């Protein structure tokens, strides 16, 4: 019989990953209420915003106000792509940081106009400085399974990137099926490797639900020993490089599945739906995740 954890930590990415590519401009006050309601539902770790150029990601232009105004509860991440972003985030009061890089050179070049190794060279002094100052650092590893340009990614390349980040001392690896192509067998095999090699590093799985295999991939990762998962309330978000991508795996569907298996998340499902109600009128597509529709229609 396989073994499952008794408790799972959900890292809510809706306010950042879920909204960053949203076409509608969501008012800052609405984002702050969304964040507050998510916290009231029991979310203890969350990506709040990203300090990126408003020219490229206009939805994140209020990052400073979000960090300064959001209720400080639990671990709250900001995505910081470069040294300038880190400095702005620190000035606003951030203390937990996320950096990112793609395993695939093609994806990385299309995303930030740098190869994977060029990104790593630039990130190393930033990460080491943050860790020296006592900040929490999560490394987000994109295209860990598949790339929209290169296809299947060799697990050896993903492990090499994980190994490099761990050698720097990062606190957490968030390993992503960025375009939602992975299947449960691939999920289990990769996370079994990662958990086996890095037993003292926090390991988080990040799945998209493009092909409706997100929950199955989470179940497979659970069996591999993963007990941390990124998810987005309402299934908000999606990769701009994956045509037809339906967004991140929905927090409410993940929480429901885990609770059905008697795995604790500390998240109250009804209060989570209340949080989604706050953001739903402001996004460009209807919220149609399983548990949201079920709770709204019951």
Active-site residues, by number, are 239
Q: Which residues of 260-292 are buried (b: 16+ CB within 10 A; e: fewer)?
A: eeebebebebeebbebbbbbbeebeeebebebb
Query: How many whole angstroms separate alpha carbon 176 and alpha carbon 174?
Result: 6
Q: How far is residue 14's CA from residue 231's CA, in Å, rounded to a whole number? A: 7
């Amino acid at each position: 019989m396989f073994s499952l954890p008794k408790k799972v930590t959900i890292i809510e990415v809706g306010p950042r990953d879920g909204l960053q590519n949203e076409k509608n401009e969501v008012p800052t006050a609405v984002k702050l209420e969304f964040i507050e309601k998510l916290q009231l539902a029991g979310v203890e770790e969350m990506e709040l915003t990203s300090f990126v150029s408003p020219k490229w990601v206009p939805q994140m232009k209020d990052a400073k106000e979000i960090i300064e105004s959001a209720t400080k509860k639990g671990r709250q991440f900001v995505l910081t792509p470069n040294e300038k972003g880190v400095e702005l985030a620190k000035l606003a009061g951030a203390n937990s940081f996320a950096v990112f890089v793609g395993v695939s050179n093609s994806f990385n070049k299309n995303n930030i106009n740098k190869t994977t190794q060029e990104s790593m060279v630039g990130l190393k002094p930033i990460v080491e400085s943050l860790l020296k100052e006592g900040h929490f650092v999560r490394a987000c590893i994109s295209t860990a399974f598949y790339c929209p340009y290169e296809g299947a990614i060799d697990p050896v390349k993903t492990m090499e990137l994980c190994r490099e980040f761990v050698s720097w001392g990062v606190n957490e690896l968030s390993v992503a099926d960025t375009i939602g192509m992975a299947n449960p067998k691939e999920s289990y095999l990769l996370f079994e490797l990662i958990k086996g090699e890095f037993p003292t590093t926090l390991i988080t799985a990040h799945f998209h639900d493009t092909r409706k295999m997100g929950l199955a991939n989470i179940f497979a990762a659970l069996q591999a020993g993963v007990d941390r998962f990124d998810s987005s309330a309402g299934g908000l978000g999606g990769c701009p490089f994956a045509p037809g991508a339906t967004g991140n795996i929905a927090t409410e569907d993940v929480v429901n599945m885990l609770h059905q298996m008697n795995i604790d998340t500390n998240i109250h499902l009804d209060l989570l739906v209340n949080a989604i109600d706050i953001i739903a009128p402001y996004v460009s597509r209807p919220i149609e995740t399983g548990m949201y529709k079920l709770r709204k229609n019951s």
